[in-house]
Structure 1
Amino acid sequence: MTRATSRRDTRARIVDVAARLLQEEGPVAVTTRGVAERAGVQAPTIYRLFGDKDGLLEAVAEHVMSTYVSAKAEIVEAASAADVDPVEELRDGWTMQIDFGLANPALFRLLSDPDRVRHSPAARSGKQVLQARIRRIALTGRLRVSEHHAVDLIQAAGIGAIHTLLSTPPDQRDPDLAPSILQAVLTRILADTPEPAHQAPIEAAVALRAIAPQLDVLSHPERQLLAEWLDRAIKAMSANL
């Protein structure tokens, strides 16, 4: 075994131990000494690999989130291949996200820290999964706001729902809260009907914006210009809704 391989294995073992401690006992339990003992290493090893406790928590958050996001991405890809209704797939993804947050409160709080999210590759990947879900809806002509606005609304609503539920004692939580929040968002972003013959201009514009990057009959500058025009039109029409 090479030194690099040994270092990776040691790092992975430490992250796995810290992740279990975080999930079972919360951030307070993730001490360098406690993690080192459970991982069978010396405390200086953790400092050498992660810098400090915050560095270790960063690594744990990235590891768990990356694994979770990879699973979500596979679900989206499978749903697309199987031609699953994108709105129902979005609902399933929402439920999965809420359940994940409630099952991993300490990790959720780490991952919802704005300073941490801005620099997190896993968080960016997670947002890309949501963007892919919204893109699938846009392509059906059912989206009546911009993709960017829809993604931000769903992301903000999901974070707020989880925070609210986590701040409520488990036996007092409203089981209809998260589904009701999602339904309110869907009412805002979805058209009443997906049939092209009944599309209003904004749904048609959003659908065309979704496929604009793939219009190979246009040059790259032309695709950029088309996207800019459509973004402007969608923003103007959305303001009148």
Structure 2
Amino acid sequence: MPAVTASTRERILNAAADLLATGGTEAVSTRAVAAAANVQAPTLYRLFGDKQGLLDAVTAHGFASYLAAKKTLAPTGDAIADLARGWDSHVEFGLTHPAFYVLMYGVPQPERRPAAAEEAHQLLMGLLEQAAAAGRLRTPADAAARLILATNTGVTLSLIATPSADRDPELSARTRDIVLAAISTGPEPTDTTAATLASRALALDATLDDNAHPLSTTETALLHEWLQRIAAHS
């Protein structure tokens, strides 16, 4: 039996990706992929098991491409501006690769989350934690991440489902600005409103573990809880 090389696997994934882009998931049959990649069906089954295993690998391939695009964005030094650029790149990826995007986000598979998807989530959390440390967040980072992902994904899927001639060109930008305004403060908050109290609590919470202080582990955990409660209440 001939050895299966990395290039063989890559050729199969590229063939499946091409079929997905032109015909959707229905076009990604094991027979069609094997023919397009010029491999025998047993090779495909040995690598991926079945059609679902192949689709899982194609999904991971899509997330890896998405993550690579994310990593090309150099930080600006302003976490909120970087979140806005990340939102826009997310939508752009979805509209450029709609079949990939629907496979990645339109069919939830939390039990089969690719490593690249988790890495992309950690990039988002990193930006939110930077914003929190700078006193720019009104809401805890994990809650902000859930809100951003839900709305960013929803907008992208909505635009994909709408004929290009009927799309509202301002929908994504308007939604982005509303969401970011809801979770963040201005660059130099000067008021004493509840929102500013929340941002200050989250800033302390974000930096607490990185600074020397006289609190015990138990006291630190308790202070984390208090700061999170202040932010949530505010």
Could you say which TM-score interval applies, normalised by the shorter chain?
0.7 to 0.9
- Which residue of structure 2 aligns with residue 215 of structure 1? 211
For residues 210 and 224 of structure 1, the distance between their equivalents in structure 2, rounded to whole angstroms, comes to: 12
Query: Does the C-alpha gap of structure 1 residues 196 and 115 become closer, same or farther in structure 2, counting only changes over 3 Å?
Result: closer
Q: CA deviation at 1:28?
A: 2.1
- Which residue of structure 1 aligns with residue 46 of structure 2? 48
Query: Does the C-alpha gap of structure 1 residues 65 and 132 become closer, same or farther in structure 2, counting only changes over 3 Å?
Result: same
- Which residue of structure 1 aligns with residue 187 of structure 2? 194
Amino acid at match of 1:50: F
- Which residue of structure 2 aligns with residue 23 of structure 1? 21
Amino acid at match of 1:132: G
SS in 2 for 1:112: helix
- Superposition CA RMSD, Å: 2.2
How many aligned residue pairs are there?
Answer: 228
Query: Does the C-alpha gap of structure 1 residues 229 and 164 become closer, same or farther in structure 2, counting only changes over 3 Å?
Result: same
| Structure 2: gaps (5+ residues) | none
- Which residue of structure 2 aligns with residue 229 of structure 1? 226
Identity, in percent, stands at 39
Amino acid at match of 1:203: S
For residues 162 and 124 of structure 1, the distance between their equivalents in structure 2, rounded to whole angstroms, comes to: 19
- Which residue of structure 2 aligns with residue 166 of structure 1? 160
SS in 2 for 1:143: coil
Where is the helix percentage greater, Structure 1 or Structure 2? 1
- Which residue of structure 1 aligns with residue 32 of structure 2? 34
Amino acid at match of 1:122: A
TM-score (ref. length: structure 2): 0.87
| Structure 1: gaps (5+ residues) | none
Describe how 1:76-87 pairs up with structure 2 within 5 A: 78-79=74-75, 83-87=76-80
- Which residue of structure 1 aligns with residue 90 of structure 2? 97
TM-score (ref. length: structure 1): 0.85
Amino acid at match of 2:169: P
Q: CA deviation at 1:171?
A: 0.2
Native 8 Å contact 1:212 1:226 kept in 2: no
Native 8 Å contact 1:23 1:107 kept in 2: yes
- Which residue of structure 1 aligns with residue 100 of structure 2? 107
For residues 113 and 74 of structure 1, the distance between their equivalents in structure 2, rounded to whole angstroms, comes to: 25
